[in-house]
Amino acid sequence: MSVLDPKKTYQNLKKKGFIDSVTKSVDHKHMDFFHDGKYILSTKISHGNKDIDNYLIKQMYVQCHLDKNDFLDLAKCPLSKEEFIQILAQQGLLD
């Protein structure tokens, strides 16, 4: 079972180019990813201190168009922003 720290995940996604969304929510932080000024995708992270569990990890990796292992690497930093962009390009999401 995988778990992620929400604060570290948030910080790491910010390093990868995600920005805080203008969408406001009481229970989640929404984050958007843009490439070359074009909106590509968004995901959300819980505001709480509770670890992100497998259920929420699945929602996030689907929102980010990644498989679970790639998303965990993105959230924990082994997957670089450039590698993430390459995966999105291979899926045709950057056209």
Domain presence at residue 13: yes
pLDDT value of position 49: 79
- At 26 the pLDDT is 67
Q: Which domain holds residue 25?
A: 6-90
Q: Is residue 16 part of a domain?
A: yes
Q: Report how far apart the first and last C-alpha atoms of the chain are (Å, whole number).
A: 35
**In a domain? residue 95:** no
pLDDT at res. 11 = 94
Dist. CA 15–CA 70, nearest whole Å: 16
List, as one string, the DSSP characters of 29-80: EEEEEEETTEEEEEEEEESSSSPB-HHHHHHHHHHTT--HHHHHHHHHSSS-
Residue 70 included in any domain: yes
Q: How does pLDDT run along the chain (95 residues), one tens digit per residue?
A: 689 999 999 999 999 999 999 876 766 789 999 999 999 999 998 777 789 999 999 999 999 999 999 999 999 999 999 999 999 999 999 97
Q: Exposed (0-12), middle (13-18) or buried (19+): which is 18, by Cβ within 10 Å?
A: buried
Residue 24 lies in a domain: yes
Which residue is associated with the tokens 């989640």? Answer: 28
**77 is a domain residue:** yes
pTM as predicted: 0.88
- Domain assignment present for residue 1? The answer is no
* CA-based radius of gyration for the chain: 12
Task: Report the CATH number at residue 82.
Answer: 3.30.920
pLDDT, residue 1, reads 67
In a domain, 32, yes or no: yes
